[in-house]
A = this chain, B = another copy of it.
């Protein structure tokens, strides 16, 4: 982790508050649906101002209006099949730029004070991995200067600037990371992620109607869920929150539901063996057949993928037979073409037999800190899947999760069966 918190010096500006007012420094992040149209933007402005009127200092991070990033990516795709990512970032970063201007204007229209900041303006400096850049540092001083004037600081999510001044973006969901990174940089008391769902659920309610909202979840569990395809929060944002102990709330911008608190693990969480079930149909499986089993082969394959910024998820290597082994791994579907090209080249160079692709897969995972104290959780998962006649293609485990790759057509069935088997189904009221 780079020393990206160099500028982290929280001044005692809270001293200006009225006596008796509990002043907190709060970062609120509003996603694309929350700023999806003019009325919703006005609603966001109202919520931010309410938070300020309760005596808090408020930093607002906003995403592009829903649909906008896709509209821009479509324009890019109409012009280029393999767009240069520097130029693509220039185009898609405009979505958040429009949002910050409009949110600042909406706050001002409601007699509030606000100032917008682009990633480049509050020096959200990233590396130069266009379209998937990582935050290296943030200039908290510029933000504090706005807060000192009792302005709401409205900051563009998703975007940053590299050392050379090029516009960068952080990848899908990057606004969450912007919000948490800012919360860490300014030592905020809370980071609230506003979205169109009212919290973190045991699984996707669209797939499993028995899913229920969690009041609290540990960083570790949330990290696994996010990694495994639950789209509530971007992984990097949870990593940041965990590392800098930022209390993270997932809330709806349309209700007053308290939402879900993502925080440090505590004793109450261990009652549940499994806290959530995630699934992901956005990956594809690539198998390299008959790879010579000599040292350095895996390094060559995954080094080449890493070099081109292809993110590999699960990796399984079978036991060697006749000095040959099969290496199988999964990548995001968006990276398939790129990955295939790279892997074919490497496979040829190392004398492997061939490369096979399968994009009809789903990864289903169970997650829970309670697993640490319970044995047999993985075995139970396999039994549940077997009972439904579902074949398991790949397995991956960690201390607090078990993932299985299965045929994509069984994904929903698997989720519902596991949700029920691990006792997560909602108690029926009445």
Binding site for B on A (CB under 8 A): 38, 41-42, 72, 75-76, 78-81, 83-84, 86-91, 93-94, 97-98, 100-102, 104-106, 108-109, 114-116, 118, 120-121, 165-167
**Measured between alpha carbons, how far is A84 from B104 in the docked complex, in Å?**
9
Please give me the residue from chain B that is nearest to A109 by CB atom.
Answer: B80
Residues of B within 8 A of A118 (CB): 90, 167
Cβ of A120: which chain B residues have Cβ within 8 Å of it?
120, 165
Q: For the complex, what is the distance from the CA of A165 to the CA of B117, rounded to whole Å? A: 10
A93-B97, A94-B94, A121-B165 known; A88 vs B105 contact (CB < 8 Å): yes
Asked if residues A79 and B109 are in contact (CB atoms below 8 Å), the reply is yes
Min Cβ gap A145→B in Å is 11
- Beyond A94-B94, A165-B121, whether A106 also contacts B80 by CB under 8 A is yes
Asked whether B72 lies within 8 Å of A98 as measured between CB atoms, the reply is: yes
A104 to B38 CA separation, bound complex (whole angstroms): 31
Q: Is the CB–CB distance between B105 and A76 below 8 Å?
A: yes
- B87 engages A108 (CB within 8 Å): yes
* Minimal beta-carbon separation of A91 from chain B (angstroms): 4
The 6 A-B residue pairs whose C-beta atoms are closest, nearest first, are A91-B101, A90-B101, A94-B94, A38-B78, A80-B109, A87-B104
Task: Tell me which residues across on chain B come within 8 A of A121, comparing CB atoms.
Answer: 165-166
- In the complex, chain B residues whose CB is within 8 Å of the CB of A88: 101, 105
| Complex: chain B residue closest to A120, CB-CB | B120
Contact B87 A98 (CB under 8 A): no
Alpha-carbon distance A94/B114, docked complex (angstroms): 20
Bound-state CA distance A79–B76 (Å) is: 29
| 15 more CB-based (< 8 A) A-B contacts, given A76-B105, A87-B114, A93-B97 | A75-B102, A76-B101, A79-B105, A80-B105, A80-B106, A84-B108, A87-B105, A87-B108, A88-B101, A88-B105, A89-B101, A90-B118, A91-B97, A91-B101, A120-B165
In the assembled complex, the Cα of A118 lies from the Cα of B86 at a distance in Å of 13
User: In the bound complex, how far is the Cα of B101 from the Cα of A75, in angstroms?
Assistant: 10
Write 10 A-B pairs (CB below 8 A) sorted by A numbering: A42-B79, A76-B102, A83-B105, A83-B108, A87-B108, A88-B101, A90-B97, A90-B116, A91-B97, A91-B105
Partner pick for A87 among B41, B72, B101, CB 8 A cutoff: B101
Of A38, A81, A101, A102, most buried by chain B (CB within 10 Å of CB) is: A101
Is B102 a contact of A79 with CB atoms below 8 Å?
yes
> Min CB distance, A348 to chain B, in Å?
27
Q: How far is the CA of A93 from the CA of B80 in the complex (A)?
A: 23
Task: Report chain B residues within 8 Å CB of A87.
Answer: 101-102, 104-105, 108, 114, 116
Task: State A98–B87 Cα separation when bound (angstroms).
Answer: 9
Of the candidates B79, B86, B93, B167, which one forms a contact with A106 in the assembled complex, judged by CB atoms under 8 Å apart? B79
Q: Which residues on the B side are within 8 Å of A105 (C-beta)?
A: 76, 79-80, 83-84, 87-88, 91
A104 to B167, CA, bound (A): 14
> Do residues A91 and B102 form an inter-chain contact, with CB atoms below 8 A?
yes
- In the complex formed, the residue of B with least CB distance to A93 is B97
Query: Quick one: closest B residue to A65, CB to CB?
Result: B75
Chain B residues, CB < 8 A from A72: 98
User: Given the known A-B contacts A38-B78, A105-B79, are A94 and B98 also in contact in the complex, defined by CB atoms under 8 Å?
Assistant: yes
Contacting pair B106 A98 (CB below 8 A) = no
Give A364 Cβ to nearest chain B Cβ, in Å: 38
How many Å from the CB of A30 to the closest CB on chain B? 15
Chain B residue at minimal CB-CB distance from A96: B94
Q: Which chain B residue has the least Cβ–Cβ distance from A156?
A: B90
In the complex, chain B residues whose CB is within 8 Å of the CB of A165: 120-121
Closest Cβ neighbor of A121 among chain B residues? B165
Chain B residue nearest to A38 in the complex (CB): B78
- Chain B residues whose C-beta falls within 8 Å of the C-beta of A97 in the assembled complex: 90-91, 93-94, 97
